């Protein structure tokens, strides 16, 4: 298919099922002509990811657990052998022990899970950039997914908010380092969405309802809307944009207080 992504090849990391944010971005990229490769985390998720990836004509569907650097290296070795070059990567990966995504941050957070959350949800993007950049000989675009709990306290988001703050800082440092090579690095800060990872956060339903009542657009965002912003940031349409945290959250991030009618109830 012809489109603004025609002739571009990229890797999608972080599809678990058809509700995944990464899947929304992948579908949009495919609709605009991109050639895609996918990773999946473990055989159980692989059974869900493979049919989705095949439905958009994926040429490579590879296992990858970012807590094991050997599997990350193996993915990029394969991409080098099969494609030679790479135009973009979507990193939509996050994990924390859900028993720590409820209650007070100060009480819930253990050393072990703090480290695990940081490695999987923040460091892995830097490691992916280290492997991807040498393949981006014609320039490229790296995109990760973050959430507003990085800069503002969201109940129950806890250690994941701390990891997202590190991830967003990584976006800026990577953008500065890789800019001279024509490689852009950005993040989408999505509003709450009903996904496997989203369901792991305590009181996810309440966050969802709060967003619907208080965001300027008075609703949550769709997979297609995040897909459209992903297309923009991964294509030449955003050629002058790097180091950006781009909110796709119905405008929730600009608000400070609940709407007056909410305060009364």
Residues labelled catalytic? 147, 157
Assess contact for 186 and 232: CB atoms under 8 A. Answer: no
d(CA 62, CA 87): 18
- Any contact of residue 222 with ligand NAD (CB under 6 A)? no
DSSP state of 139: B
Binding segment (CB under 6 A) for ligand NAD, from list 25-33, 191-199, 235-243, 250-258:
191-199
Q: Does 145 help bind ligand NAD (rule: CB under 6 A)?
A: yes
Q: What is residue 124's three-state secondary structure?
A: helix
Sequential DSSP letters for 190-227: EPP--SHHHHTSTTHHHHHHHHHHHSTTSS---HHHHH
**Measured distance CA(242)–CA(172) in Å, rounded:** 8
Stretch that binds ligand NAD, among 58-66, 103-111, 174-182, 234-242 (CB under 6 A): 58-66
Count of positions on this chain that bind ligand NAD (CB under 6 A): 27
**CB 46 to ligand NAD: min, Å:** 10
Among 95, 123, 131, 157, which residue sits at the site for ligand NAD (rule: CB under 6 A)? Answer: 95
40 near 66, Cβ under 8 Å? no
CB of 17 to ligand NAD, least distance (A): 6
Q: Name the minimum Å distance from CB 142 to ligand NAD.
A: 14
Using rule CB under 6 A, residue 198 touches ligand NAD: yes
Grouping H, G, I as helix, E, B as strand and the rest as coil, residue 169 is helix
Contact, 15 vs 91, CB < 8 A? no
- From the list 59-67, 99-107, 232-240, 254-262, the region that binds ligand NAD by CB under 6 A is 59-67
Point out which residues bind ligand NAD (CB under 6 A).
Answer: 14-16, 20-22, 41, 45, 64-67, 92-95, 120, 145-147, 190, 192-193, 195-198
């Amino acid at each position: 298919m012809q489109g603004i992504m025609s002739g571009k090849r990229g890797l999608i990391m972080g599809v678990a099922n058809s509700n995944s944010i990464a899947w929304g971005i992948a579908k949009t990229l495919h609709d605009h002509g991109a050639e895609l490769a996918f990773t999946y985390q473990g055989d159980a998720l692989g059974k869900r990811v493979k049919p989705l990836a095949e439905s958009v004509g994926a040429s490579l569907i590879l296992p990858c657990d970012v807590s094991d650097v050997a599997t990350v290296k193996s993915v990029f070795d394969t991409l080098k052998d099969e494609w030679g070059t790479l135009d973009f990567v979507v990193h939509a990966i996050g994990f924390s022990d859900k028993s720590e995504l409820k209650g007070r941050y100060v009480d819930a957070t253990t050393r072990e899970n703090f480290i695990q959350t940081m490695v999987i949800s923040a460091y892995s993007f830097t490691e992916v950039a280290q492997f991807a950049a040498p393949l981006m000989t014609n320039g490229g675009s790296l995109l990760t997914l973050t959430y507003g709990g990085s800069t503002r306290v969201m109940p129950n988001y806890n250690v994941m908010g701390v990891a997202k703050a590190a991830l967003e800082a990584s976006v800026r440092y990577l953008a500065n380092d890789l800019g001279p090579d024509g490689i852009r690095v950005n993040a989408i800060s999505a509003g709450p969405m009903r996904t496997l990872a989203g369901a792991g956060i305590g009181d996810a339903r309440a966050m969802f309802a709060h967003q619907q009542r208080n965001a300027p657009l008075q609703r949550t965002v769709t997979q297609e809307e995040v897909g459209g912003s992903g297309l923009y940031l991964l294509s030449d349409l955003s050629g002058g944009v790097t180091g950006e945290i781009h909110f796709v959250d119905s405008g929730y991030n600009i608000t400070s207080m609940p709407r007056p009618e909410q305060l009364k109830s």
